[in-house]
A and B are shown apart, each in its own frame.
Chain A
Amino acid sequence: MVRNIGLGLLAILLILQFVGPSRPEVIEDNPGDILLASSPSVEIAGTLRSACYDCHSMETKYPWYGYVAPISWYLIEHIEHGREELNFSTWTDLDKRAKLRVLKDIQEEVEEKKMPLESYADLHEEAELTEEQRASIVQWAKALAIDVLKQK
């Protein structure tokens, strides 16, 4: 009886691997990326890459469980939503006002510790930001906003 239930569950798990949403595309080469366009310090670039880029860029690094349904579905949903809200890889596609809004949102989200999501930081140690790291990101976003405003 127990064996049958076990086998049944295994079969369901196997079937799940072939249904459901597909993983969002990964693109490594993004000429419109914010890091290329604004060349921040190595520290800032490193923090953004390790704490934000999995969900907010085209350069998602999928962990092993990102390939196992149904956990992968949860990840896929998060990544799709994250890219929709903010995609650092397509930064130069935004017009000036959109850029300024994104930079303000970044300041608020990071300052109020809404981002990176706690559920993400729990699994990614490098995404757990120190107060100093948060302050530098806010500082960077503020400075970049002033630059963007001045741009033609």
Chain B
Amino acid sequence: MKKSFFTSVIVFTLFFSAHDLFAQKEGPEKTRVLLANTADSTQLLSYPMDVMAIITNKCLGCHSPNARNEESRDALQWIELQSMGAVDIVATLDEVSEVLEEGSMPPEKMLERFPHLKLTDEEVALLKAWVESTLTEVMGE
């Protein structure tokens, strides 16, 4: 209970700080929120608002520390990306990229019960573009 409360607080804080950033700043950087540090502290992993909204609405239910399903918790927890080094971020995002390519997430079984969690084509495209640009950035290419 305590843990889930803590996670919710983090998610909300991130969301609102992102919203503030969006409201205050002008220019191309305004939609980017800094969320995670890579091993190299000079490099920052960032989530645009729209990407963050998709992850929050459609992925975090199963891929966060308080998720009920152990398998999905073990497979990926978005929040862990914050403390990962560059090597692990690349490995994790490569898997995310594969899953998006296959269209295997959220899983069929989940969608049968919660059809609203299905990723739209537009959302898949946004996530893919973010994954690819982040990979390029983290790999320093």
Contact = CB atoms under 8 A, between A and B. Distances in A.
Interface stretch (B17-25, B52-60, B88-96, B107-115): B88-96
Contacts of B91: 97, 100-101, 103-105, 145
A13 to B, nearest CB: 41
Contacts, number: 34
Contacts of A100: 87, 90-91, 94
A96 interface: yes
A86 to B, nearest CB: 13
Contacts of B95: 101
Interface residues of B, number: 12
B139 interface: yes
Nearest to B88: A104
Given A97-B94, A101-B95, A103-B91, A149 B135 contact: no
Give the interface residue-count category, chain A: 10 to 19
Interface string A101-118: 101110000000000000
Nearest to A148: B87
A42 interface: no
Contacts of B119: none
Contacts of B139: 96-97, 149
Nearest to A105: B91
A26 interface: no
Contacts of B135: 97
B127 interface: no
Interface in B22-77: none
A39 to B, nearest CB: 20
B86 interface: yes
Contact of A145 (B87, B92, B93, B94): B87
A98 interface: yes
Residue from B86, B87, B92 having most chain A Cβ neighbours under 10 A: B87
A94 to B, nearest CB: 10
A146 interface: yes
Pairs A-B, 3 closest by C-beta atoms:
A104-B91, A97-B94, A101-B91
23 contacts: A96-B139, A97-B90, A97-B94, A98-B94, A100-B87, A100-B94, A101-B90, A101-B91, A101-B94, A101-B95, A103-B87, A103-B91, A104-B88, A104-B91, A104-B92, A105-B91, A142-B87, A145-B87, A148-B87, A149-B86, A149-B87, A149-B90, A149-B139
